[in-house]
Amino acid sequence: MTMMIFLAGMLCFLGAEGSRIEVYTEIGASLYGDCTGIGVSVGAQTPLSTVFSSSPRLDKVIVGAGGIYEGVFDPELGVTILGVDLRAGYRFTLFELVPALDTALPAFMNLRILPSLVFGLAYERIERLDLEYFGGMAFHVAPQLVVDTTPFETGKLQALRLGLGFGYNTYLCERTVQNFRPALFFGWTF
């Protein structure tokens, strides 16, 4: 949470007037090979043009930072992962991909699509039958995809973003852990 506040402050300080910073939360299931847990990500992201210059090319490149939590609460196997991440991706919309849909569909159907690469550091703790099996630092890398839209076309709620996120998380260390995480995405743009 502290990192998210720091990033938002830094982006406001560096960004141009009218900067667009999006605070997001992703909540979903962490699907491991033989067990299921919960995964939560919170953070902030912004177009790279907010930080450097108002270039249309940089407006599509998204950078951000946040925190992650993954947990499995099984009596025989417990996994806890806590960490910080950086993300970088390229955002485009459905109407940019298929311009003919612009006139055929309502505006809220203009889905934003953000494929990104997430990387960071995490503390990983694995317990087997209440005994610590592994505890240590792990390097986190994950390709992710978020598809979202704004359900409101006017008013203050226009800043609200709702969608779905998908990621394949790999935590590289002595005891590498991998999971697939489908999640609900909630964002608010300032």
Q: Which own/partner pairs from 99-106 qualify as long-range (CB within 8 Å, at least 24 positions apart)? A: none
What is the secondary structure of 35-89 as a DSSP string? -EEEEEEEEEEEEHHHHS---TTTTSEEEEEEEEEEEEE-SSEEEEEEEEEEEEE
* pLDDT tens for the 190 residues of the chain, in order: 455 455 555 555 444 445 588 999 999 999 998 889 999 999 999 998 887 776 777 889 999 999 999 999 888 888 899 999 999 999 999 989 888 887 777 877 889 999 999 999 999 998 888 788 888 999 999 999 999 998 887 777 878 999 999 999 999 998 889 999 999 999 998 8
Q: What is the pLDDT of residue 8?
A: 52
Task: Report which residue type is found at 92.
Answer: F
Query: What residue ranges do the domains of the chain occupy?
Result: 2-189
Q: What is the pLDDT of residue 19?
A: 59
Instruction: Report residue 29 as tokens.
Output: 């299931």
> CATH number for the 2-189 domain, one of 2.10.109.10, 3.40.390.30, 3.30.420.40, 2.40.160.20?
2.40.160.20
pTM of this structure: 0.84
